[in-house]
Amino acid sequence: MEAKTKDLWVFVETNEDGSAKNVGIELLAPGRDLAAKQGGALVALVVGSNVEAAVEEAATHGADKVVVVDSPEYKQFSTDAYAAVLTAMIEKYGPTSFLMGATPNGRDVGPRVSCRLQTGLTADCTALDVDEETGCVCWTRPTFGGNLMAVIMCPDHRPQMGTVRPGVFKKPAVTENKAEIIREEFHVDAASIRTRILEIIREAEGENVDLEGAEIIVAGGRGVGSAEGFDVLRELCDALGGTLACSRAAVDAGWIGHAHQVGQTGKTVGPKLYIACGISGAIQHLAGMTSSDYIVAINKDADAPIFGVADFGIVGNLFDIVPALTAEIKKR
């Protein structure tokens, strides 16, 4: 495909209730920069059913235009429907670049679209820029489990496509002007959707606590003091989208179930962020979490061994610090 414009498109994925998933709005931030450097407009593509809320959000966070495809067959994500509509819109408008959130759905449909268009897709990017010489997008991404970063370009094929993980960029500020809204009609008939969602299962807390797959973990130890004490940690978890964990001391004291235990006799975890609250940092606990990317320690005792492995340490009362942190996150 040849690019018809110098525009940069951001795919704004929606939820079944018609609201925008955060990542799509987040991508409008780097999108703004890149579009300017490429000399084109920033266009948000919103697809879903009853998506006025998402359109409004996209329109007021920096997009120049919002292209909307709003129809019942897009309410639930399916590879076939979304691959079709994305491809159709890209072929019609011919953007030079296309950003998507690296959500499970994004990573599902992104490569189908890039393959259908015989173009290049760079997955899971952590940084974006434009190469001065060629005007192409430079996509920076982790390889080898994050041990090596690669900078990728897609010089000759269009659109240049990339997926970006949620949380890498912050949502841009709300803008005064609203984007131009363009409503597109594109339908996919039910027969061409080859997958069917039969059931949605949400896990009750504590049953299958997925610590090993968690990206963010908030853990409590002896310093939490009681079963109720864990409630402030649960609130922080909710605000961060994290998983609750604990040290052996808390389990032995009966405050929380063993399924949450991290350590030598519990689970071994490697999240992006591990927040240890009231945990002293006994070697048995460290054995389970030192491969976390970033460790935050909150403890009253300045000599607690946990501060030896923490990237960010706070000497203080977790019952003051943790609620303050929860409040701070909710503000943003």
Partner 1 sequence: MNILVCIKQVPDTNEIKIDPVTNTLIRAGVPSIVNPFDGYALEAAARIKDNDPDTKIVVMSMGPAQAEDALRECLAIAADKAYLVTDRAFGGSDTLATSYILKSAIEYVESWEGKFDLIFCGKQATDGDTAQVGPEIAEHLGYSQITYALEVQQASAEGIQVLREADDCNQVIASDCPCVVTFTKPSFDPRFPTIKRKMAARKATINQITAGDIPGIDLTRAGLKGSPTKVKTSFVPPRKEGGVMIQAETPEEIAAKLFESLNGVHVI
Partner 2 sequence: MSQYNPVTPEVIAELEKVVPGRVVTGAEVNPDYARDEMPIYGTRMPEVSIDVLTTEEVSGIMQVCYAHNIPVTTRGSGTGLVGGCTPICGGVVLCTSKMNKILGYDLDNFTVDVQPGVLLQQLADDAMSHGCMYPPDPGEKLATLGGNVSTNASGMRGVKYGATRDYVLAMTVVLPDGRITRMGAAVSKTSSGYSLINLMIGSEGTLGIITELTLKLIPAPKATISLIVPFEDLAACISMVPKFKQNHLNPQAIEFFEKEILITSEEYLGKQVFPRKVEGAEVGAYLLLTFDGDSQEELDNIVEQVAEMLLEEGAMDVLVADTPPKMKDAWAARSSFLEGIEEQTKLLDECDVVVPVTRIPEYVVYVDELAKNYQFRLQYFGHAGDGNLHIYTCSNDMEREEFLRQVDDFWNKVYAKTMELGGQISGEHGIGMGKVKYLAEAVGEANIQLMQGIKKVFDPKMILNPGKVCYSL
**Residues lying near partner 2 in the complex (CB under 8 A):** 258-259, 264-265, 267, 283-284, 287
Nearer to partner 1, 112 or 187 (CB): 112
* Binding site partner of 155, from partner 1, partner 2, none, Cβ cut-off 5-8 A by kind: partner 1
- Select from partner 1, partner 2, none the partner in contact with residue 283, using the beta carbon and a kind-dependent cut-off of 5 to 8 Å: partner 2
Shortest distance, position 28 Cβ to partner 2, whole Å: 41
Cis, bond preceding 172 (omega within 30 deg of 0):
no
Q: Which is nearer to partner 1, 41 or 86 (CB)?
A: 86
* CB nearer partner 2, residue 20 or residue 249: 249
- Among 122, 247, 261, 299, the residue binding partner 1 under the rule CB under 8 A is 122
Q: Name the residue nearer to partner 2 (CB basis): 234 or 258.
A: 258
* Residues in 264-283 that interact with partner 1 by CB under 8 A: 272-273
Interaction residues for partner 1, span 8-37 (CB under 8 A): 21
Question: How many whole angstroms separate alpha carbon 35 and alpha carbon 37?
Answer: 5
Residue 313 binding target from partner 2, partner 1, none, CB below 5 to 8 Å by type:
partner 1
Residues found in the chain: 332
Contact 262, 209 (CB under 8 A): no
Contact segment (CB under 8 A) with partner 1 among 35-43, 98-106, 173-181, 261-269 equals 98-106
- Cβ closest to partner 1, residue 41 vs residue 280: 280
| Sequence-ordered list of residues with C-beta below 8 angstroms from that of 149, at least 6 positions apart, any chain | 126, 140, 141, 142, 143
Closest Cα partner for 242 from 266, 210, 285, 281? 210
Q: Which does 258 bind (CB under 5 to 8 A by kind): partner 1, partner 2, none?
A: partner 2
Residue type, 57: E
Residue 134: strand, helix, or coil: coil
- Partners of 9 in beta bridges: 43, 98
Closer residue to partner 2, CB minimum distance, 32 or 248:
248
Question: Is residue 244 a contact residue for partner 1 (CB under 8 A)?
Answer: no
CA–CA dist 206, 32 (Å, integer): 42
Nearest to 122 by CA among 85, 155, 92: 155
Angle formed at CA 18 by CA 16 and CA 21, multiple of 5 degrees = 80
d(CA 8, CA 123): 17
Query: Are the C-beta atoms of residues 155 and 39 closer than 8 Å to each other?
Result: no
Query: Quick one: what does residue 62 bind among partner 1, partner 2, none, with the CB cut-off 5 to 8 Å set by partner type?
Result: none
Question: Stretches 25-33, 59-67, 78-86, 218-226: which one binds partner 1 (CB under 8 A)?
Answer: 78-86
Q: Of the two residues 287 and 309, which places its CB atom closer to partner 2 in the complex?
A: 287
> Among residues 157, 187, 234, 258, which is the contact residue for partner 1, using CB under 8 A?
157
Residue 50, phi-psi category: left (phi > 0), alpha (psi -120 to 50), beta (remainder) = left
Shortest separation between residue 151's beta carbon and partner 1, angstroms: 5
Q: What's the Cα-to-Cα distance from 53 to each of 18, 19, 21, 182, 283, rounded to whole Å? A: 6, 5, 11, 15, 49
Q: Which does 86 bind (CB under 5 to 8 A by kind): partner 1, partner 2, none?
A: none
What residues contact residue 196 under an 8 Å CB cut-off, 6+ apart?
none
Q: Which does 284 bind (CB under 5 to 8 A by kind): partner 1, partner 2, none?
A: partner 2
